[in-house]
Amino acid sequence: MLRCCVLEFEGNWEKYLPLVEFSYNNSFQSSIKMAPYEALYGRKCRTLLVDLIKEIEEKVKIIRNCLKVASDR
């Protein structure tokens, strides 16, 4: 994960390390059957950012479906 971050963001990769850490700590790990954050604190991480991302993903799906319907006409 760190190597990917360094290669992707090249000269300013250290700026994005907190995002990499957040992503890793909230990703499902098959070895423990949960995210590391959840294992450590006993609950899922709930942030406004996560909620906002989910909402945006839902809106994008709706928009894509509408565009597909319009394109199919």
As given in the structure block, the two tokens for residue 63 are 């928009």
> What is the CA angle 34-27-24, rounded to 5?
125
More confident residue, 10 or 62: 62
Q: Yes or no: say if 20 and 1 are a contact pair by the CB < 8 Å rule.
A: yes
Same domain, 48 and 37: no
Same domain? 32 vs 48: no
60 and 27 co-located in one domain: no
Do 37 and 61 lie in a common domain? no
Q: Verify that 22 and 6 share a domain, yes or no.
A: yes
Does residue 9 contact residue 15 with C-beta atoms inside 8 Å?
Answer: yes
- Sole residue written with tokens 């950012």: 49
Question: Residue 66 is part of which domain span?
Answer: 44-73
Q: Are 49 and 36 contained in the same domain?
A: no
pLDDT, residue 39, reads 95
Same domain, 52 and 34: no
Of how many residues is the chain composed? 73
Residues 5-44: tens digit of each pLDDT:
788 888 888 888 888 888 889 899 999 999 999 999 999 8
